[in-house]
Structure 1
Amino acid sequence: MTDEPRLSAQNMIEHLTPVLSPRTRIRAVTALVAGTTGGAFTGALWWSEPGPLPGHTHLAFAMFTTFCLAWAGYGGWLLTRRVPLFATDRLIAAWLALTASITTTAVLTTVAAQRDTATWPVLTVGGVFITTSLLLTVRAHLRRAALVRRLLELTHRENQ
């Protein structure tokens, strides 16, 4: 028996993988900058609109500003992580994308229907975005489940 301390599975994983890979760091900075810029731009546009705006316009501005700030928050959260994320970052991003796609499609379809214009272009483009973000969400869930399962296997082996 040696006097070397045994590393737990969690410690091994933390030492084997960098906290944030360069690719993840780039994604985080991009989300933070794009979200902040988009939120500032949308908020400024909303604030500077002359005259009273219809309710659905206020809803659209609020929705777009909220989505931008959510992406900025996601980017900031990701940059501050100092632990392995086990694909939680991808899962959060996928759910943000899916929520934004569904909500945007619903609001734009409602506005198009209220204006008696064709809804098929909105539904077609929205359907593509919803389908893509849904596939990414499923993929993120599967990836996270595989990583967590592997962590549990390593932890179980360690305890035996």
Structure 2
Amino acid sequence: MPGGIRGGSRSGSPAVPGKSSPGGSQSPTFFHAYDVRGQYPSELDSAAARALGRAIAGTFPGPTLLGWDTRADSLPFARGIELGLSLGGNPVSRLGIVPTPLVAYAAARWKVWGLCATASHNPLGYVGLKGFDPSGRILGKDWERVRRRFGK
């Protein structure tokens, strides 16, 4: 499996309460049926990315691959995810800038979890996260389990 990564985050600003704040009173609006996506940093900031990474690690423990797309905000978002995964106990290996299907292939090839920070078809200013299980299948309804753990 590829080597580990070191991360950090670009923005230390707090998340918008009630949207992405781990302590927010409302359910985060960035969880969707097959992925996570929202505006960076107003909906998904570095603190929310770390909390999301921890929630993912608590829901899907074990080695995790992490890739991202070429958007400027994807790398700092991925670094926040990585930090949360690491704090949650998941060893993380960076794939770097890759197409999303490569993350699915690599997850299946190495039988580990795979995540890709990608805003996909969304406009500039958005970030997102797609996930794959160790067989390379996209995480669908599994995001609901992550959402329930988020902010605890």
| TM-score bucket of the superposed structures, by smaller chain | under 0.3
> Which of the two has higher C-alpha Rg?
1
TM-score, structure 2 as length reference: 0.24
TM-score, structure 1 as length reference: 0.23
Greater share of residues in strand: 2
